[in-house]
Structure 1
Amino acid sequence: MNPDDVAAYALDLPEASEEEPWGPHRPVYKAGGKIFATLAAANTSQPDRLSVKCESALALHLYEQYPAVRPGYGYQGPRWHWITVHLDGTVPDEELAEMISHSWQCVVDGLPRPTRDRLRGLHRDRARPPAQDRTDGPASS
């Protein structure tokens, strides 16, 4: 995934929004007013970077599995970490999508119950395959 793909995926999650509170080329993605992902543009010493929230045990597993995944800047609590992924092409797109979705879910889990339940419902509805039209099936005898 490149930064445009990351942005498109993040913004496709229910009620996700994008802001640039830290200046241009530093977008953050929020759900329920809380940040679940940030992007930082490449510079002379590093490629583009994605930072997401991640449960502690999963973060440790990802550090071992992918050299491009590193501890993120900021809070490293007992339940979750922020991890930073260098978008250098070594982490599969499907894995990056899972990381973004997981981060969104971590943030949603911490929102007030009415907001949390509404966003979870929207997410479930999107993940559910469309119902098949009964008229397309074989005719009943």
Structure 2
Amino acid sequence: MTSLTADDVRAIALSLPDTTEKLAGGQPTFRVGGKIFASLADDDTTMGVKCSVDERAELIASEPEKFFVREGHGDNYAWLRVRIAALEDAAELTAVLTDSWRQAAPRGLVAAHPELSPPRAEGG
């Protein structure tokens, strides 16, 4: 396992098309099309990313050491917290950030970057 940091989050997030960084509430946020797709926590050890409610529940159940929600966030909260250092490597961090980016980015921008689409399942 590689020890990932907030600097890795920043580098990968800003490498995604049309991404900008902006402070919001004193925290760095990463945006595409004006929409936030990732944010760093005050202590730089966790980040928030967009995540469907169904996928969020699955990730938390299967890998609670990596993924969690903040206390008080309801069932319809489409965000997930990620413990940055608990991720396996830069490839996993890239996959998490790219998935969140796809959920926030305008459809035309996503379509213009098929290289950022998730891999298709075998036989599908």
Q: TM-score, normalised by structure 2?
A: 0.76
Which residue identity does 1:120 align to in structure 2? V
Structure 2: gaps spanning 5 or more residues: 117-124
In the TM superposition, structure 1's runs of 4+ consecutive aligned residues that sit over 3 Å from their partners are 72-76
Determine which of 5, 19, 28 is the counterpart of 1:16.
19
What is the CA-CA distance between 1:9 and the residue it aligns to?
0.5
Which residue matches 1:69? 67
Query: Is contact 1:52–1:82 with CA below 8 Å preserved after alignment?
Result: yes
Aligned twin of 1:56: 53
Shift of 1:121: 3.8
CA RMSD of the aligned region, Å? 2.3
Letter in 2 for 1:100: L
TM-score between the two structures when normalised by the length of structure 1: 0.68
What are structure 1's unaligned runs of at least 5 residues?
A: 128-141
Structure-2 change in CA distance of 1:3 and 1:104 (3 Å): same
Residue 91, structure 1, aligned to residue 81, structure 2 = no
Cα shift at 1:72: 4.5
Aligned length: 111
Q: CA deviation at 1:19?
A: 0.3
**1:64 to partner: Cα distance:** 1.8
1:28 counterpart letter in structure 2: T
Structure number with the bigger relative contact order (C-alpha 8 A, sep ≥ 6) is 2
